[in-house]
Amino acid sequence: MKITNLFEDIPADLPEELIEVIASTKNVRIERIVSHGHTSPEDFWYDQDQNEFVLLLKGKAELEFSDPDKVIVLNEGDSLIIPAHQRHRVCWTNPEIATIWLVVYSDQSSLIYSKESNSIDPLMLCRKMKEI
């Protein structure tokens, strides 16, 4: 068992967004993403097959959604679940400091995601991660 710190080992120079897979199973993937003023390309939209739980650990960011057309501001500690196939993009991250995200992707069939409550069950997430 190795202890890691999500706030450490951040390169001083980030020409591109840093995406690290922390853990993954058949139905779940957890990533640490570090942005430093990075955004999605102008005409690019994420349209993923998996649900996406986003937790902004540090910094500030803005996510743009295509349907409905809106922008959501995320501050430190904010989280949201982006349902599968909800088109979105990162339209702004803080250029002054690193923005650190913790992102959990889960299949529709995964037991950790409840479509009714649009939430992730933390206990089921822990059980799934033990499968690694």
Taking only the tens place, the pLDDT of each residue in 28-48 is 899 999 999 999 998 899 999
pLDDT at 115: 56
- What is the model's pTM? 0.81
Largest CA distance in the chain: 44
pLDDT of residue 26: 86
Q: 23 - beta bridge partners?
A: 30
- pLDDT score, position 5: 95
DSSP H/E element including 127: helix 122-129
Domain boundaries 18-129, CATH class: mainly beta
Residue spans of the domains in the chain: they are 18-129
d(CA 105, CA 102): 10
Averaged pLDDT score across all residues of the chain: 87
Tens-place pLDDT, residues 54-94: 999 999 999 999 987 899 999 999 999 999 999 999 999 99
Which of 31, 28, 25 has the alpha carbon at shortest distance from 113? 28
The residue ranges of DSSP E strands in 10-112, in sequence order, are 18-24, 28-35, 51-58, 60-66, 69-75, 79-82, 88-93, 99-106
